[in-house]
């Protein structure tokens, strides 16, 4: 996955230009955190930079892609904020000090393909949180109406690409016209709750959107907050 992101890190901001609704949500959690902040899959700093700017707190950003981390350093420097950026795997990361908040925006946990991968990640998160510390993330809810409408369809925005669904593997592939494919493996609500259970984390809140909307049959997003 890091190689795919490395190949187009300089264009990632174009892909996510319209993705802004999650930023105030994660900023709010960061404001409430009394201790170290950690963002998993920090990418180009899309969320970490406003978190650091708004809260004045140090953000540790972990990502497997050197090119994405390079973009984060450039973007952070442009606005005069310093991030503690570290290359690493979200399934294996280590911290010197337990975190008050670990968060993973942008549906990035869906890049982990198997239950075993996600379990390792959740257990590492649980081990890295201080007592009472929070873990937050978001992921899309699978909607077969959406999947059937866009499966195999070509889109021009924000970059030319084609989307393919593999329902038997819970996987969606996004192939860029000029090369490279990224895959996401979706999960059900109960699968996410099961991961919290095996990691020893407690569900604090589950929303259907970043403004705290209740999760219902029309929700397109899971927004989770858990506590150690």
| Residue 148 shares a structural domain with residue 137 | no
102 and 120 together in one domain: yes
Residue count of the chain, please give it. Answer: 228
SS3 221: strand
Radius of gyration of the chain (CA): 17
| 99 and 210 together in one domain | yes
Nearest to 108 by CA among 121, 95, 97, 96: 121
Indicate the DSSP class of residue 24: H
User: Are residues 86 and 10 both part of a single domain?
Assistant: yes
Same domain assignment for residues 134 and 105: yes
Same domain, 153 and 46: no
Same domain assignment for residues 170 and 199 = no
Spell out the per-residue pLDDT of the chain, length 228, in tens.
556 676 666 777 666 677 789 999 999 999 999 999 999 999 999 999 999 999 999 999 999 999 999 999 999 999 999 999 999 999 999 999 999 999 999 999 999 999 999 999 999 999 999 999 999 999 999 999 999 999 999 988 777 899 999 999 999 999 888 877 889 999 999 999 999 999 999 999 999 999 999 999 999 999 999 999
* 135 and 117 co-located in one domain: yes
**Three-class DSSP labels, 150-170:** HCCCEECCCCCEEEEEEHHHC
Based on the fold, state whether residues 116 and 130 are members of the same structural domain: yes
Q: Which three-class secondary structure state does DSSP give residue 138?
A: strand
Supply the DSSP symbol for 131. E
Number of H helices, E strands in the chain: 8, 11
Q: Is the pTM of this model over 0.85?
A: yes
Which residues constitute the domain of residue 151? 142-185
Considering the domain architecture, whether residues 178 and 196 belong to the same structural domain is answered as no
Cα dihedral across residues 75, 96, 41, 88: positive or negative: positive
């Amino acid at each position: 996955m890091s190689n795919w992101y490395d190949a187009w890190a300089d264009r990632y901001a174009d892909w996510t230009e319209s993705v802004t609704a999650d930023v105030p949500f994660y900023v709010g959690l960061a404001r409430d955190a009394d201790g170290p902040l950690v963002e998993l899959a920090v990418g180009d700093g899309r969320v970490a930079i406003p978190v650091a700017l708004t809260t004045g707190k140090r953000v540790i950003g972990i990502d497997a892609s050197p090119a994405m981390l390079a973009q984060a350093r450039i973007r952070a420097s442009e606005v005069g904020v310093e991030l503690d950026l570290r290359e690493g795997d979200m399934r294996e990361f280590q911290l010197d000090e337990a975190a008050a908040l670990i968060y993973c925006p942008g549906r990035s946990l869906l890049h982990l393909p198997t239950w075993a991968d996600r379990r390792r990640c959740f257990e590492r998160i649980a081990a890295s949180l201080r007592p009472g510390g929070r873990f937050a993330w978001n992921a899309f809810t699978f909607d077969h109406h959406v999947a059937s409408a866009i499966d195999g369809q070509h889109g021009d925005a924000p970059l030319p690409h084609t989307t393919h669904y593999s329902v038997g593997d819970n996987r969606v592939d996004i192939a860029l016209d000029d090369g490279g494919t990224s895959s996401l493996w979706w999960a059900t609500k109960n699968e996410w709750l099961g991961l919290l259970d095996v990691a020893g984390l407690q569900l604090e809140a589950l929303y259907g959107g970043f403004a705290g909307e209740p999760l219902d049959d029309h929700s397109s997003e899971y927004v989770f907050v858990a506590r150690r």
